[in-house]
Structures are given as C-alpha cells and as structure tokens.
C-alpha cells in the first residue's frame, strides 16, 4: 500500500479484516506500506498491520512479495504509480477519483487494458458501492422494481472547512487534489448515480464557488504567499472549489441533480441519493446506512408510501458473513467488502467493478462539470418585476 493517512488506515482495516470474515479464494498478506517519512511510515506499519515499511514506491513495486499495489495517495501521484505498477505486472487498487485530469485517467485506463491482456486486474476504490443498502438498491433497479427511471438526485455535504482559519491542506490545492468538493465528494456521487441507474451521464450544466479564497499555511509551507492585513500568519490561495451544483442527463433520458459542499455547516458526511421511476422510488441516506427506503407505486394509493427496509438479512448483499439480522454494519465495512470483491476478481481473472474504465467515465463527467461551470461564471440576470405607477 502506498500512503497511510485517512484512506490508508481505512484500506488497512479492510485488508486486516477481510480474510477473518469471508471465505476467500486467495489469502491477502499485508507485505509492505510506503510513505516518504521513514519514522512515520515505520510507525504506521506497526499500527496498521503491515509487515514492512518502504520510503520509495518504486522499491515497493520492485518487491517480489508484492502482487497487488493499493494506492492511497493524493491524486497527483495516482497515474504515475498505477501505470508503473501495472507495467511491472502488479494488480492495482487505486483510490478515487482515478486521477486529477482526463488525460491522466485515459493513460491509466489504457495501462489497465494492456495489463488485463496479461491477466492483471485494476480497480477504483469507490467504497460506497459496497454499502449493503446501495448494493441492494442496485439489484432492485436492475430487476425493474422502480420501472423506467425519470429522476436521480444526490447530495454530498460536509462542513470541515467552514472555518476560514482552517489551514491550506493539500485537498485545497489544485496541483495535488485536481479539484475540491467536486473531485473529493462529487466523484462518489457521480459514480453512485451511474452505478445505481446503470446509465452514463451524457451532459451536464454546472456552477461552482470558492467561498474562502485564502487560508493560513500549515507548518510554514510556501504556496502563493500573502500576509494578512496588519501582519499575522502567512496565507496561501485556495485553488479549488468549496462547493458545486450541477444538473445532468443520463443516456436513458432521465434527469439528474447533484450538490456537493465542504462548507455546509452541521453536515459531517451527509450523502443522500434518491431515484424515481414510473413504478416506484428508492432513497438512501449514509447517516442511516443500514436502511433503504422503497416506494412501490403500483400499490393502492390508500396504503402505499415509502417503507423502510432494514438491510441486515443474511440474503442481503455481503451480509451472509456478518452478524444476525438487526445487527448493523458501519463505514469501515465498505472497505472490507471492497477487499473481498477485489480478491474474488483477481482469483477469477474477471474485470472488477468499478474498473479503471469506470473511473475514466467519472473523470470525464467531473471535467465536463468544471468546463460548464467556467462557461456559466456569468449568471443570466433575473429581471426585476415591472411596477406600474399609480395614476
């Protein structure tokens, strides 16, 4: 694994746990973790369960005992590491978004295609697909339970940068992150909308905004330095969006609406998605992640309405290996399920879901959103109502 911060810890939890819960065709062995700081990566290896530590990802890829490389770094390094790993004959799991640009994502998808011809697997880490309720919703849409799709609406809201004094971390710098709330949160909900509907987005219209345009520099970093009025801490420019709103059309003709923000006060990790068809609707809220709401529009109106499905039964997706009905799962279990699905794909030699091609499609949507937002930077004015003068 390359990287050991938030996502590295989450992926490590998945790798540590998966073989203790599921019967697997192959046994994952946590051989080595890589990071630039020697002391910090050694500490991470001990804490997270890795047998060894490396400080150069090239050395990690060169190891004979490494067959799978898991990339949990900022987006600016995804393409270089993933392409090199695939060309070295390794399987690859790469965190979302796949890359920072469409060109990088195209190169990664092409490397994955070539590696696939040699029996190597490349998967993107869209972990929310592995929530049992989301997996059940996908099955219900596929089985026609909501009929012909007409609407998809999704929001993903957080508030961790509401404070204008929050420091200028890498996620707020375009050269490292690619984009802001759009890439960080929007990638997830674009993937979910396309995954649940089974349809790609074919067009978007968007606006984005950066509400806090300068922030304090963390740890003495130098990024577009300026000084606050009257002296004070050095600050750097925020070069990504804080929030994005966009609408879209799916290939089937259904309409979609999306909202992402990292400045929505009070919202910690609020992801909600609803799909409406001519026979029914499905709704999911990540803050109630063991529940799926379903409305069957074919039932008599007098007794119909949204009903709660508690997704904890043994015949629900992924639940056969966990606890008795009613004993819910959490966020960390999505990474266990991700590891399970990847191991099965490697053993069977089958294309994983989501593939690098799927990640490329999401990247193209994100790029189209940015392009649309740039064109829509000047709003069409709303004309004031005409007031008729009294005679």
Tokens 């972990």 correspond to 127
Task: Quickly state the pLDDT bin for 233 (edges 50, 70, 90).
Answer: confident
More confident residue, 88 or 222: 88
d(CA 129, CA 196): 9
**Average pLDDT of the chain?**
95
d(CA 80, CA 57): 10
Tokens 């404070």 correspond to 163
CB 269 within 8 A of CB 287: yes
pLDDT in the model for residue 380:
77
Tell me the average pLDDT across 226-255.
85
| H helix or E strand, kind and range, residue 84 | helix 78-87
Tell me the average pLDDT across 136-161.
98
pLDDT in the model for residue 91:
98
CB 335 within 8 A of CB 11: yes
d(CA 378, CA 391): 38
Structure tokens at 78: 């995804």
pLDDT in the model for residue 134:
98
Residue 211 has pLDDT above 80, yes or no: yes
Question: For 310-351, how does the pLDDT look when each residue is reduced to its tens digit (9 = 90+)?
Answer: 999 999 999 999 999 999 999 999 999 999 999 999 999 999
pTM of the model: 0.93
Tell me the average pLDDT across 194-210.
97
What the chain holds in terms of domains, given with CATH numbers, is 6-127 (3.40.50.720), 132-288+290-329 (3.30.360.10)
Tell me the average pLDDT across 296-304.
95
């Amino acid at each position: 694994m390359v990287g050991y911060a938030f996502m590295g810890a989450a992926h490590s939890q998945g790798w540590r746990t998966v073989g203790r819960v599921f019967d697997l065709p192959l046994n994952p062995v946590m051989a080595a973790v890589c990071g630039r700081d020697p002391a910090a990566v050694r500490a991470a290896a001990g804490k997270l369960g890795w047998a060894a530590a490396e400080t150069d990802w090239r050395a990690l890829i060169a190891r004979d005992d490494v067959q799978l490389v898991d990339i949990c770094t900022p987006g600016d390094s995804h393409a270089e590491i993933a392409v090199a790993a695939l060309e070295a004959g390794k399987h690859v799991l790469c965190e979302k978004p796949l890359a920072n640009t469409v060109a990088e994502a195209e190169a990664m998808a092409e490397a994955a295609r070539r590696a696939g011809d040699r029996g190597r697997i490349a998967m993107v880490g869209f972990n929310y697909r592995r929530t049992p309720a989301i997996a059940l919703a996908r099955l219900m849409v596929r089985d026609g339970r909501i009929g012909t799709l007409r609407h998809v609406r999704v929001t993903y809201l957080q508030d961790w940068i509401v404070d204008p004094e929050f420091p200028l971390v890498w996620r707020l710098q375009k050269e490292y992150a690619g984009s802001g709330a759009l890439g960080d949160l929007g990638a997830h909900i674009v993937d979910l909308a396309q995954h649940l509907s089974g349809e790609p987005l074919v067009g978007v219209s968007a606006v984005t905004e950066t509400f806090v345009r300068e922030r304090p520099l963390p740890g003495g970093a130098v990024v577009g330095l300026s000084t606050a009025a009257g002296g004070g801490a050095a600050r750097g420019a925020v070069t990504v969006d804080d929030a994005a709103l966009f609408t879209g059309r799916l290939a089937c003709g259904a309409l979609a609406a999306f909202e992402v923000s990292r400045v929505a006060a009070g919202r910690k990790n609020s992801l909600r998605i609803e799909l409406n068809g001519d026979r029914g609707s499905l709704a999911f809220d990540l803050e109630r992640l063991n529940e799926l709401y379903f409305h069957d529009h074919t039932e008599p109106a007098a007794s119909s309405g949204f009903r709660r499905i508690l997704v904890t039964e043994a015949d629900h997706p992924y639940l056969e290996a966990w606890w008795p009905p009613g004993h819910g799962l959490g966020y960390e279990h999505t990474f266990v399920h991700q590891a399970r699905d990847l191991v099965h794909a490697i053993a069977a030699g089958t294309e994983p879901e989501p593939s690098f091609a799927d990640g490329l499609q999401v990247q193209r949507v994100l790029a189209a959103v940015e392009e649309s937002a740039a064109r829509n930077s000047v709003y069409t004015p709303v004309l004031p109502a005409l007031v008729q003068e009294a005679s």
